Structure 1
Amino acid sequence: MSVSLYQSGMSGLLAAQQQLATTGHNISNVNTDGYNRQRAEQNATVGLNNGNNYIGGGTYIQDITRLYDQFSHKEQITNQSKLGNADSLHARLTQLDQVMSTSGNAVVGSLDQFYQALNGVADNPNDSGLRSIVLNQANTLSNDFNQLTNNLDQMTKSINGEIEQVASKISEISQELAKINETIMHSQQGGQPNDLLDKRDQLIGELSNYTQVNTVKDANNVMTVMIGQGTTLVAGITPMTLQVNAGDPDSQQTELRLVSGSSSVALKGSTLGGSLAASFEFRDEHLSQTRTEIDRLAMAISSTLNDSQASGLDLNGLQGVNIFTDINSTQLQQGRVLAHSGNSGSTQAEITITDVSKLTTDEFEIRFEGGNFTLYNLTSGSSENLGPPILPSGGTHKPSSPDYGFSFVETGTPAAGDKFTIIPTKNSAALMQTTLTDGNAIAASTAIGVTPSTNNVSDGKIEIINVMNPEDAKSFTGTGLTVDVVESAPGSGIFDYRVFDTATPPALITSGNYNAGDSEVVDLPPLPGTPAFQIEISGNLVGSGTNAREEFSINDAFGVGNGKHAVAMAKTQEVGVTNGGKETFSKSLAVSTSVVGAKASNAELTADTAQALFTQAYNRNQSTSGVNLDEEAANLLKFQQAYQAASQIISTANTIFDTILAAVR
């Protein structure tokens, strides 16, 4: 009996000791990330048959189990991935919002100050000091565009650096997981390695912050880890790594590849989930969209003011030259075409801008296939056949359905499969410079003007609508031109016009007619000469009396104090140019800034929601797997008492045994 009692006491003592050790282990790891609390599973030993009944033989610890709920853990890592994605995107969009609110507002301010200075020249066109202010403000405007795009460039570099860091970290985790898998595989026969399983799950949790994670375990508890849409990162004891390569064709658009041994496959970063997908989404969508809009605005401002400048005369009576960098400079045209590294042909290509108002923020690609160049709009999914290459000297291909505001210019011989990424607005803000250096070269004066006869009675009018060459226009008008208009027959609704010079007798230069309600655009000088300017005749020009003519004079308008063209240039601030001519310069930038702000605000709401969902999932998982100090303290007391009681059983067994020995002596 004493032996049986002794065995029961020893088993209870050992069981209590293991219970205490397990409880102590739980308490020690209360602050250990990824730790799942453990429990010593205690069972009674099978009783011994003494002939009439079974006498208990004590207890034993069957196993140290890990309190783990795979469903709540899966929910936690899923929400961890969503939180990592939302937090990262929110942080980046907030940063972009700050850049647009500071550097973007600087552009708005310098643009307003430029136009204020231009209005000053319109009021006092001969004031050299005011002309210098216009140049200073033009320099400030171009510098502010340079600074804004530089800030966007820095964000791109920062994102690329973050992508490299995350890819490196994922590769490290992959290798660690493979090692743990191998250790688990070799240790399964000696019981479940709970702490190794915790470490593995902790790594899975860390990985889920960077990317979406799915796992599958085999019969040996060895785990296969998949990221994104099912790409295997760890196959049992074999790890794969992530590699970051320069983008093709844009080296700044870095790309990911999954490397296994000597082979690798491309990964689409935006589909990986977690913070990694957020980095790609931000860089390739939100940041790229904002950059394109800023480039388009810089191009629109440069093009509009350069074109307007070219229509007027400077202080020396010469045609105005560009204020800002020519939007179709060789450097800009060539930079808009990015040839893919796999191209085998000799084609050199450029993009020429034909109409800034038609430029969109869409992405394009031109492919040479089936003997033709085909333009693909990667944003809308549409395509257009641009025709075959123009050999041997090359040629121009202009999209027409729709007209995107640019032409594709190619030389050389393409090869089948050659591809070119087209970015029509690329580098417009970064390369925007104030090229005008002499304030006297500001074309504040108009070359010609129209004056109606004092005898005119109708509301019809003649306007100068386009001056292609103000010097030639000034020269052609000479001592003046006369335009008269008369209705062919009373009530006919057909109006005849004639243009004369002021020679004696006047010589007819050109004539024609138009219908009531329409207007007529007239090139002067007419073909076959080279037009220097255009006039538009409109309205019902019916004079007072039968067959009475309405007359207008067109004269050289250049002279001291003429600031009319500066007035016209200043009015470009109020004209819709971008987005199909719907938005002014200021509105275009305001829309871009507000869109970024709205995205940042929405991202904040998404991040808050993701945080709440993650917290709920984490708490649910912790309710099963987390260490509760109050519960462990109670267990500690309970197992301590059990240990003391088991010790007392052993002491009692010893006393009985001593009594028996004394009785038989």
Structure 2
Amino acid sequence: MSVNLYQTGVSGLLSAQQQLATTGHNIANVNTEGYSRQRAEQSPTLAIQNGGNYIGTGTYVSDIARLYDQFAYREQVVNQSSLGAANASNASLTQLNGLLGSAGGAITTSIQQFYQAMNSIADNPSDPALRSIALNQAKTLTTNFNNLNDSFDRIESATNGEISEIAKQISEISTEIANINERVLHSNSPGQPGQPNDLLDERDRLINKLAEFTSVNTVTDANGVMTVMIGSGNTLVAGTTPLSLQVIPGDPDPLQTQVAIASANTTIPLKEDTLGGALAAKIKFRDEDLAKARSEINRVALVLSETLNGAQRQGLDLNQGQGANFFRDVNDATNQTSRILPYAGNSSAPGLQSGIEITDVTQLPANDFDLVFDGTNYQLTNLADGTTTNLGAPGSGTYTTAFGFNFVENSGAPAAGDRFTIRPTENSAALMQVALTDGKGIAASSAVSIKASDNNVSAGAVNIVEVSDPVAARAAAPMRIDVLENPPGSGTFNYTITDNTNTTSAPIAYTPPSQQVQLPPPPATAAFTIEITGTPSGQAPNGPEQFTISDAFGVGNGENAKFVADSRDKGIINGGRESFTQSIGITTAQVGSQTKAAELSVETSQALFTQAFNRNQETSGVNLDEEAANLLRFQQAYQASSRVVSVANTIFDTLLSAVG
């Protein structure tokens, strides 16, 4: 009897000792990240039958259980991924917003200062100092565009560096998880309930860290070995075999790097939109947010350059020559070829060499296009809305589009399946530079002017719309346009053109409310375009309405400079809806709005993660008050069991004395 009592006391003593050890382990790890509270599970030992009764023989610790709720933990992992994405997106957008707020403001200021200089030239076109100031302001403007583009490059490079670093950390986590899987596999004994709890905690901590970078799903087999999948189900850890995440050059843009799962023999690119976490946020920022802002700024640089170049071409400089380009030609060879990117898998030798020619800056979009040769025709897809346009078969040389640009074949020929990405505004800010080197070259003077006869009585008008060759236009002057309603009151009009040889053309029909006419008339080559507007009904004896076109050049003529200056506030960009400064302001506002939304997303994601974390801690977290109570309870149990052992010893000694 004393022997059984002794064994019962010892079993209680040992169990209490393990309970104390487990409680102490919990207390020691109260601040350990990812630690899950443990509990020693006690069970009674088998009773001994004695007569008709079963006498208990004590207790034992059947398991050191890990208090773990897989559903609460899974919720924490999911919210960790969302929080990682929100934090990464917010950090990147905040940086971009700060850049556009400062650099975009500098560009806006330099645009205004340049136009102020052009207004001054319009008022005093013969002043060489004002012309020099305008050139310097133009250089400041191009420098600001160049600097902003350089800043975009630095942000893109830094983002690529962050993507590479995240891929490296994911690969390291993959290796650590695989190593833990191997240790777990070797630690688990068949048929034994015990688990390596601290190893499982460390593995879950790594999973939680991994979830910050990407979305994670896990599957654990009967041996406790975990398979880890990221993104849309791509295996990162297959049992004890780790795979790595690599960064590979983008196609067709090498700087738009891609991530891929790499094993010993294969590399599988991943779909960025399914990755989740900070990795997906960084890629999205680079390929969407940053790319869109860059494209919008590029469009402003391109449209501004072409608008001012076009205005220059319509006027005369101080040397009485046609105005040369103010800025670098937007359609030079380098600009054209930089706007189209071939894919790596395209045919080679000779292969198609092509470019993009800008034709209408008012219609030019800021988004990308996809061009594919399907074996018969070129198919152009607008990536903004997914619409596709059939451009026709190869060999035509130039293919017009409805988007303000032409696709131009330069040399070679495509093969079926060849694919290209078209970025109509690409590199415009980077390549923008002042082409004019002498202030005398600023075309301040208009070539020709139109004066209505003092005898005209109607509100009809004739205005110059465009001058393609101001030198030839000036040489064609003087000319006269006579517009007549015939018969009077009929609403039927015609006009005649009297050239500088005093030769008058036959009557030509004019249809109100407006009609454009190219001058000089054939067979001469047209040099400028006029527009007749309204209903110029002359009254006898003063009819017809007459408009005289004269040579307007003069060092004091600032009409073309005024024409240039007037383009500052005109709606030119985005279908004629935005001026230059408005477009920059809209882009800055959009990024600012995205940044604010990202801040709110961080707050929401943080709140959700905190809730999920707290729910998980309710089960797995260490409560020091509870552990202190357990410590006292198990200490008392230990002392009580010690007393049982002491009583058993006393009884045993008494029995021995009685026998002796």
TM-score between both structures, scaled by the size of structure 2: 0.97
Match of residue 362 from structure 1? 367
Q: Decide which of 497, 500, 516 is 2:498's aligned counterpart.
A: 500
2:625 maps to a residue whose letter is D
Is contact 2:214–2:277 with CA below 8 Å preserved after alignment? yes
Deviation at 1:378, TM superposition (A): 2.4
Give the Cα–Cα distance (whole angstroms) in 1 for the partners of residues 115 and 265 of structure 2.
60
Give the Cα–Cα distance (whole angstroms) in 1 for the partners of residues 493 and 371 of structure 2.
49
Match of residue 378 from structure 2? 373
Q: Decide which of 283, 287, 311 is 2:286's aligned counterpart.
A: 283
Q: Decide which of 306, 311, 314 is 1:311's aligned counterpart.
A: 314
| CA RMSD in angstroms, aligned pairs only | 1.4
Is contact 2:476–2:500 with CA below 8 Å preserved after alignment? no
CA offset digits 1:141-197 (Å, max 9, x no partner) = 111111111111111111111111111111111121112112212221152111111
SS of equivalent residue, structure 1 residue 326 = coil
Q: Decide which of 549, 559, 567 is 1:564's aligned counterpart.
A: 559
2:496 maps to a residue whose letter is R
Give the Cα–Cα distance (whole angstroms) in 2 for the partners of residues 510 and 77 of structure 1.
84
1:280 maps to a residue whose letter is I
My pick for the range that moved more, 549-558 or 537-546, is 537-546
Is contact 1:500–1:510 with CA below 8 Å preserved after alignment? no
TM-score between both structures, scaled by the size of structure 1: 0.96
Match of residue 268 from structure 1? 271
Match of residue 222 from structure 1? 225
Are residues 109 and 510 of structure 1, via their aligned partners in 2, closer, same or farther at CA, if it must alter by over 3 Å? farther
Match of residue 107 from structure 1? 107
SS of equivalent residue, structure 2 residue 459 = coil
Are residues 330 and 21 of structure 1, via their aligned partners in 2, closer, same or farther at CA, if it must alter by over 3 Å? same
SS of equivalent residue, structure 1 residue 251 = coil
Q: Decide which of 355, 358, 371 is 1:353's aligned counterpart.
A: 358
Give the Cα–Cα distance (whole angstroms) in 1 for the partners of residues 469 and 500 of structure 2.
21
Give the Cα–Cα distance (whole angstroms) in 2 for the partners of residues 519 and 356 of structure 1.
24
2:252 counterpart of 1:257: no
Give the Cα–Cα distance (whole angstroms) in 1 for the partners of residues 471 and 50 of structure 2.
128
CA offset digits 1:507-564 (Å, max 9, x no partner) = 125751212x332211111233221111111121122326721112111111131111
CA offset digits 1:35-65 (Å, max 9, x no partner) = 1010000122222222142222111111100
Match of residue 489 from structure 2? 491
SS of equivalent residue, structure 1 residue 508 = coil
Deviation at 1:599, TM superposition (A): 0.7
Is contact 2:377–2:391 with CA below 8 Å preserved after alignment? yes
Runs of 4+ residues deviating >4 angstroms:
none
CA offset digits 1:106-145 (Å, max 9, x no partner) = 1111111111111111111111111111111111111111
Match of residue 234 from structure 1? 237
CA offset digits 1:483-504 (Å, max 9, x no partner) = 211111011212121121355x
Match of residue 393 from structure 2? 388
1:291 maps to a residue whose letter is R
CA offset digits 1:454-489 (Å, max 9, x no partner) = 111111111011100111111111xx2222111110
Is contact 2:78–2:211 with CA below 8 Å preserved after alignment? yes
CA offset digits 1:426-476 (Å, max 9, x no partner) = 000111111111111111111111111111111111101110011111111
Match of residue 582 from structure 2? 587
Deviation at 1:213, TM superposition (A): 0.6
1:375 maps to a residue whose letter is L
Pairing 1:427-438 to 2, within 5 Å after superposition: 427-438=427-438
Match of residue 599 from structure 1? 594
Structure 2: tracts of 5 or more residues without a match: none
Give the Cα–Cα distance (whole angstroms) in 2 for the partners of residues 58 and 431 of structure 1.
87
2:524 counterpart of 1:514: no
2:616 maps to a residue whose letter is N
Match of residue 660 from structure 1? 655
Match of residue 404 from structure 1? 403
SS of equivalent residue, structure 1 residue 208 = helix
Give the Cα–Cα distance (whole angstroms) in 2 for the partners of residues 538 and 88 of structure 1.
58
CA offset digits 1:383-418 (Å, max 9, x no partner) = 12211111xxx611112xxx0111111121211111
Give the Cα–Cα distance (whole angstroms) in 1 for the partners of residues 576 and 370 of structure 2.
25
Is contact 2:10–2:645 with CA below 8 Å preserved after alignment? yes
Aligned residues: 654
Deviation at 1:372, TM superposition (A): 1.7
Structure 1: tracts of 5 or more residues without a match: none
Match of residue 444 from structure 1? 444
2:278 maps to a residue whose letter is S
2:77 counterpart of 1:77: yes
Deviation at 1:360, TM superposition (A): 1.1
Is contact 1:319–1:471 with CA below 8 Å preserved after alignment? yes
Give the Cα–Cα distance (whole angstroms) in 2 for the partners of residues 248 and 511 of structure 1.
61
Is contact 1:486–1:547 with CA below 8 Å preserved after alignment? no
2:612 maps to a residue whose letter is A
Deviation at 1:652, TM superposition (A): 2.1
Pairing 1:31-430 to 2, within 5 Å after superposition: 31-189=31-189, 191-345=194-348, 346-390=351-395, 395-399=397-401, 403-410=402-409, 411-430=411-430
Give the Cα–Cα distance (whole angstroms) in 2 for the partners of residues 146 and 502 of structure 1.
48
Match of residue 536 from structure 2? 541
Is contact 1:365–1:419 with CA below 8 Å preserved after alignment? yes
2:406 maps to a residue whose letter is S
Give the Cα–Cα distance (whole angstroms) in 1 for the partners of residues 505 and 165 of structure 2.
73
Is contact 1:312–1:443 with CA below 8 Å preserved after alignment? yes
Match of residue 22 from structure 1? 22
Is contact 1:363–1:423 with CA below 8 Å preserved after alignment? yes
SS of equivalent residue, structure 1 residue 18 = helix
Match of residue 3 from structure 1? 3
Is contact 2:456–2:543 with CA below 8 Å preserved after alignment? no
Deviation at 1:370, TM superposition (A): 2.5
Deviation at 1:30, TM superposition (A): 0.9
Deviation at 1:257, TM superposition (A): 1.3
SS of equivalent residue, structure 1 residue 134 = helix
Deviation at 1:8, TM superposition (A): 1.5
Is contact 2:375–2:415 with CA below 8 Å preserved after alignment? no
Are residues 609 and 9 of structure 1, via their aligned partners in 2, closer, same or farther at CA, if it must alter by over 3 Å? same
Give the Cα–Cα distance (whole angstroms) in 2 for the partners of residues 413 and 2 of structure 1.
102
Give the Cα–Cα distance (whole angstroms) in 1 for the partners of residues 534 and 209 of structure 2.
74
2:623 counterpart of 1:621: no
SS of equivalent residue, structure 2 residue 429 = coil
2:154 maps to a residue whose letter is Q
CA offset digits 1:321-369 (Å, max 9, x no partner) = 1111111011010101111111114110111011111111222111111
Give the Cα–Cα distance (whole angstroms) in 1 for the partners of residues 128 and 291 of structure 2.
41
